Amino acid sequence: MSLAVTGASGHLGRLTVLALIDRGVPADQIIATSRRLEAVADLAGAGVQTRVADYDAPSTLSTAFAGVETLLLVSSDAVGERARQHRNVIDAAVAAGVQRIVYTSAPHADTSALVLAPEHKATEEMLSAAPVTTTILRNNWYTENYTDAVARARETGELVGSVGEGRVASASRKDFAEAAAAALTTDGHDDAIYELTGNVAWTHADLAEAASAVVGREVTYRDLSPAEHEATLREAGLDEGTAGFVVALDQNIKAGLLAEVTSDLTRLIGRPSTPLVDGLREALD
């Protein structure tokens, strides 16, 4: 069985390749794709096949997917361009004869008001219409999304946002990568949709407590109104669009869109998700 992982130079893709090897998949049966081969040279050194695949260059995708049976489509990080890029990947995979596509989506992408959901919903619809077997991994937030904020809190002693008492059921990227590897290599996942979350939904007060333990000083959370939050982000140098996007995400959290806790992730990886404080500590080491 030939497995391909897109975006293997990124955090999630690389961790998934390593998780596949840990599960006993021979390295030479894994194809790690990236826009730049030098970015996955270490994987090639471990015996993994590496191929160029650029979501914006369909000709590279056709070559990259030759002989692939199962493909992990790691969602693009190009907000606003994802649906188009994912269309390129899906079309190339179908043309190459890929039989199954596993996709990393967003929580309740088909129904959620989450600002990130529409592009994922569109991709899920493309996959549903494609002549392939699919598995949808709807990943909740990565704990590592807060690494930079916690690092700043080492100096400032505070975390700032506009989430109110909203909760986040995050898990570490390694947890999600292990789940992807399990879905790629075990039976029973055809046409399944998994809502993958951590075992605990935490507040930003909890995040501040975890940050305190990690950075070795007291960290508090300061909650702002959306307008105050946007102004603070603009003062920190973010452009208007990016600042508005960050505030919109915080309002999604405040509305409870990332608060759901399910058992899907735990069942796939066979253990509890990584606790918040441990995930932050590992990310900052």
What pairing do the DSSP bridges indicate for beta strands 158-161 and 220-223? parallel
186 in a domain, yes or no? Answer: no
Q: Tell me: do 42 and 159 sit in the same domain.
A: no
What is the domain range of residue 150? 140-172+197-260+271-285
Tally of structural domains, the chain:
2
CB atoms within 10 A of CB 144: 20
User: Which DSSP symbol is given to 217?
Assistant: S
Cβ within 8 Å of residue 141, ≥6 positions away: 168, 169, 170, 258
Write down the pTM of the prediction: 0.96
Q: Tell me: do 35 and 60 sit in the same domain.
A: yes
For the chain, 285 residues long, give each residue's pLDDT as a single digit of tens: 699 999 999 999 999 999 999 999 999 999 999 999 999 999 999 999 999 999 999 999 999 999 999 999 999 998 889 999 999 999 999 999 999 999 999 999 999 999 999 999 999 999 999 999 999 999 999 999 999 999 999 999 999 999 999 999 999 999 999 999 999 999 999 999 999 999 999 999 999 999 999 999 999 999 999 999 999 999 999 999 999 999 999 999 999 999 999 999 999 999 999 999 999 999 998
- In whole angstroms, how far apart are CA 121 and each of 79, 88, 112? 13, 16, 9
Q: Tell me: do 123 and 167 sit in the same domain.
A: no
